Structure 1
Amino acid sequence: MQHIVDKLNNKSVGKVTLNEPLKKHTTIKIGGPADLFIRPNSIEALHDTLEILREHDIPVRVIGRGSNLLIPDEGIRGAVIQFGKGLDHLVVNEDQILVGGGYPLVRLAAIISRDELSGFEFAGGIPGSVGGAVFMNAGAHGSDISKILVKAHILFEDGTTEWLSNEDMKFDYRKSVLQNERKGYCLEAVFQLQKGNKKEILAEMNKHKDYRRETQPWDYPCAGSIFRNPLPNHAGQLVEELGLKGHQIGGAKISEMHGNFIVNDGDASYHDVMALIQLIKEQVKENYDIDMVTEVEIL
């Protein structure tokens, strides 16, 4: 593997490390080592990286800021590419913005509010990246990515890239075409926003941030919402009705603050979290005849 590292470094693609602990890159602080970890410093560097990895038949997984992500304790064989610094460009053109897939949502919402641009208020407090948000059609407070996305620059698993329109993305509740039908990752996105009042935009964002702080356990390492809401029901309410809040397996615990969050209450393992997920699925199925679907991406 060292010769591949040398090739990547010769191309100056960005950060390249061997056996990188992935728990350093997930919000729940769980995940074993990646054989090869790469954080490209540009889209061009990403293409160079993929070309080298394909030459050596190295399997690739892409991650963002590590929220809504659960990685096994055994780690990931092959290469893990992180969209982060280097893929976090931002261009503001009146009421449209072009933004890299590695740009943090919280920072983006704050930055564009200074230009009195409205449309991203719902993202205040969401600890993810633009790429991950597009991938899963992230949303909250009655809005989501599908309502503001114009088009997205997508990297597909075969290494090709293409701009997909909002319609091409086939958005649904926490879903996009990238998850199954056309597996890929968002390199950059164009969003249509609208001019608004700066004070009103900031007030709306702060309201959403305060709500998250008051109702969700972000003081603990966690991966965000574990399950999609089985509408019209809500996952957290079902867990609470079953009396499962606070239930613990190993170092993983169902949050006492919100039933749809599992927190790392110590040295939690991947298997601890998976055991809690399975317990919730079985209990909800038995008592409500509802099949729970995870929102968190499980590698």
Structure 2
Amino acid sequence: MGRHTTFRIGGPADLFLRPRSAAQAAALAAQARALGVPVLFLGRGSNLVVADEGFRGAVVTLEEVAGEGPRLAADGLVDCPAGVNLAALCKFAAAQGLSGLEFAYGIPGSLGGGVFMNAGAYGGELGQVVEQVDFWDEEGRPHTLAGAALGFSYRHSWFAGHPGCLIAGARLALCPGDPAEIAAKMEEHLRARREKQPLDYPSAGSAFKRPAGAYAAQLIDSCGLKGLRVGDAMVSEKHAGFIVNCGRATCADVRELVEQVRAAVQARTGYLLECEIKFV
């Protein structure tokens, strides 16, 4: 599984399924569950650490479910399959002169994963532009919910409480803008990421959620934890909010490092950090 996640960590899955459509993915998952087989939907694997012993069940990868890509539905509305990566979606919007996704340029992962966790950066979140989401429930039945009904909040959506659902796609409501200005803002965000984030090492992105009234990276840095290491898992020396894989880090290494950081920050600042990485 390490080959299918951005952290490059994880043992093998019992089954690894590659459906060609969201409908096929939902049907396979429903059949597996009916047989008592646990199911894990896998997008781009950008916010995930798989156990060292692997996943005892069926992994349904959505790598080949990108569909035809994003398309214009009406003025300012874009329909997009869940498997499309966010960078491609941002470029499409910019080319159409549609603003509202500049913040997402450089966020790793797919639209589906981004909607699931309400991914965001630089003051923007996907929940701000989601008009509606098409998804399949655990029994393989299709549904559509309006964005307003999805309970978007910081790094959270309704789907967090319904992890067995499969996001098939979303309609986004964007605003007209100047293509050159949109592209310039996207490049500005990308430069900032490259300057501040440890993109030269495998990671799962930000390791901790932002606590109320503070920033996780600043708290970790203030505790002198940059460079703290367990095995080959390390608190990045470039950005304290990231845990990186320096070589052959294991899931156990990452878990232990997360707990050491949480304990140290709580003891020294009073803040109890919440881990943003999903362990399976």
Fold similarity call, TM over 0.5: yes
Alpha-carbon spacing, 1:55–1:159, altered in 2? closer, same or farther (3 Å) = same
Using the size of structure 1 for normalisation, the TM-score is: 0.89
Q: SS of the counterpart of 1:154?
A: strand
Determine the structure 1 residue equivalent to 2:49.
70
1:26 offset after TM fit, Å? 0.5
The reply to whether residue 284 of structure 1 matches residue 265 of structure 2 is yes
Aligned equivalents of 1:96, 1:39: Cα separation in 2: 30
Letter in 1 for 2:231: G
Task: Please give the per-residue CA displacement for 1:165-217, whole angstroms capped at 9, x wherever unaligned.
Answer: 11211011111111126753321000001111010000000000000000000
Query: Would you say how many aligned residue pairs link Structure 1 and Structure 2?
Result: 278
Q: Is the 8 A contact 1:155 1:161 kept in 2?
A: yes
Q: SS of the counterpart of 1:224?
A: strand
Determine the structure 2 residue equivalent to 1:19.
none
Aligned equivalents of 2:64, 2:163: Cα separation in 1: 26
Letter in 1 for 2:242: F
1:49 offset after TM fit, Å? 1.8
Q: Which has the higher contact order (CA 8 A, sep 6+)?
A: 2
- Which of the residues 17, 28, 53 maps onto 1:38? 17
Task: Please give the per-residue CA displacement for 1:13-72, whole angstroms capped at 9, x wherever unaligned.
Answer: xxxxxxxxx101110100111111112111232243234324533221112101111111
Determine the structure 2 residue equivalent to 1:90.
70
Letter in 1 for 2:95: R
- Which of the residues 77, 102, 115 maps onto 1:121? 102
Alpha-carbon spacing, 1:77–1:187, altered in 2? closer, same or farther (3 Å) = same
Percent identity (aligned) = 38
The reply to whether residue 138 of structure 1 matches residue 119 of structure 2 is yes
State the superposition RMSD in angstroms: 1.5
Letter in 2 for 1:91: R
The reply to whether residue 28 of structure 1 matches residue 7 of structure 2 is yes
Determine the structure 2 residue equivalent to 1:4.
none
1:144 offset after TM fit, Å? 0.5
Letter in 2 for 1:292: L
Structure 1 residue runs of 5 or longer lacking an equivalent are 1-21
Determine the structure 2 residue equivalent to 1:18.
none
Q: Is the 8 A contact 2:27 2:140 kept in 1?
A: no
1:154 offset after TM fit, Å? 2.1
